[in-house]
Amino acid sequence: MNLRGIWAVFRKEFRENLRDRRTLLSALVFGPVLGPMLVAGVVQFSISHSEEQYDENITIAVIHGERAPNLLAYLNARGVDSTPVDLDEAGARRAVADQTHKVILDIPEDFGARLQEGQPAPVILYSDRSRNFDRQSVERVRSLVGQYGLEIAQLRYLARGIDPISVLPLSVQEVDVSTPSSRSVLVLNMMTYLVILSMLFGGLYLAIDATAGERERGSLEMLLTSPVPREHLIYGKILAAAAYMAISLMLTVAVFSVSMSFVGLERLGITANLGPRAAAKLIACCSPLILFGASYLSIVSGFAKSYREAQTYLGLVITLPTMPLLFAGLLGLQAKLPLMLVPFLSQHLLMTTVVRAEPIEPALMVVSVASTLVYGGLLMWLAGRLYRREGLLG
């Protein structure tokens, strides 16, 4: 091993990129600062939004409100104001679809008559269920209308001499076993994803510059005439990209740790485990990925003919290994031994465990670290093989 050669390449790439605004911005600003700010912003916003929805009066549109004055008074007493609108069915659908109104309550003509006859009286509620944001208002109106109906039913039973309690055979009591910390995972799942992505971005531009960029500038050929084995040249470059990734990772976790303490997570009933000790654990879980990521990006950009081409490839390729993370969220995967063999996924699951404030089984940690390092080493070796090819010069 020509360690001096590897060290020389590493130092030069590190220093050169320290002077490159693009590398610096992506390693030190975009991922580490913007990512956490984004998450903090989203969390803060959803907290204030949900508090608002429960505290504040909402206003719904009502068609033919004059047909059900008592219902409207009932709603009004419980914080739901109404504005009268005059729309037909198609008009109501359109108004909800284009978000002129979030919720429209339509009282059909026979409402009063059927209510008096003791038949089910129809009430039409227009809403757009695909809009997550309005779901709470819709649920609130729906349950209030339901309660109103229930109260009428109880009055009817009483009028017929039946104890209203006897027609409620079941009483469902919901028990939510999620702990505050495990609930936080739902909110902070996005965070581990961003930590990994931000880490990769930290080394992205260096990886491109050191491979495709060097070829495009025409300095690669001169570099290859130096008495350093070709694979050692790329090892030095990979290690330099890894150094930037490490810096990016540490900064990102640190900024997350600080910024989340300013967000009122406890108001959402969430306590995130993001103190200095947890931050150190997050970095420890994620750092074995650095070698993997740096080699991976260097290999892909090594195939590109130009800087631009490499940028295009990497834009796609960088999201590829993070795909399993999205599925992990959807499937609710837990940290288990076989999953520790999957790079990116294992780090994600371990970091999630840390955020939940649950203990990490040493065996899981060992398998995750060892397997990811082995893959990273293999990729690095592969990058070395690629650099031995003549086709490298293009």
Partner 1 sequence: MLEARGLCKSFGNVVAVRGVSFCARDGQITGLLGPNGAGKSTTLRMLYTVLKPDEGDALIDGRSAIADPLGARRSIGVLSHGAGIYNHLTARENITYFGELHGLSRADRDARAAELIELLEMQPFADRLAKGFSQGQKLKTALARALVHRPKNVLLDEPTNGLDVMAVRGLRKLLVQLRDAGHCVLFSSHVMQEVEQLCDEVVVIANGQVVAAGTLADIRAHGGDRLEDAFVALMEPAPASDSPRGGAKT
Residues that bind partner 1 (CB under 8 A): 4-5, 8-9, 11-12, 15-17, 19-20, 214, 217-219, 221-229, 390, 393
For partner 1, give the closer residue by CB, 309 or 358: 309
Q: How far is the CB of 205 from partner 1 (least distance, A)?
A: 12
Distance CA 197, CA 286 (A): 11
Beta carbon nearer to partner 1, 22 or 131: 22
CA 180-183-184 angle, to 5 degrees, is 90
Q: Give 173 or 225: the residue with its C-beta nearer to partner 1.
A: 225
Quick one: 142 or 230, whose CB is closer to partner 1? 230
Quote the least distance from Cβ 309 to partner 1, whole Å: 17
Closest contact distance (angstroms) between CB of 15 and partner 1 is 8
Q: Which is nearer to partner 1, 16 or 361 (CB)?
A: 16
Task: Closer to partner 1 by CB, 17 or 192: give it.
Answer: 17
Partners of 58 in beta bridges:
80
331: number of Cβ within 10 Å: 9
Smallest distance from the beta carbon of 226 to partner 1, in angstroms? Answer: 4
Burial of 168 (0-12, 13-18, 19+ CB in 10 A): exposed
Residue with smaller CB distance to partner 1, 6 or 47: 6
* Shortest separation between residue 319's beta carbon and partner 1, angstroms: 28
Nearer to partner 1, 67 or 215 (CB): 215
CB of 221 to partner 1, least distance (A): 4
Q: How far is the CB of 241 from partner 1 (least distance, A)?
A: 16
Contact between 212 and 305 under an 8 Å Cβ cutoff? The reply is yes
At closest approach, how far in Å is the CB of 24 from partner 1?
Answer: 11
> Smallest distance, Å, CB 216 to partner 1?
8
| Whole-angstrom distance, CA of residue 328 vs CA of residue 346 | 10
The whole-angstrom separation of Cα 361 and Cα 62 is: 57
Is the distance from CB of 23 to CB of 17 less than 8 angstroms? yes
For partner 1, the closer of residues 228 and 354 by Cβ is 228
CB neighbour list of residue 181: distance below 8 Å, 6 or more residues apart: 270, 271, 272, 273, 355, 356, 357, 358
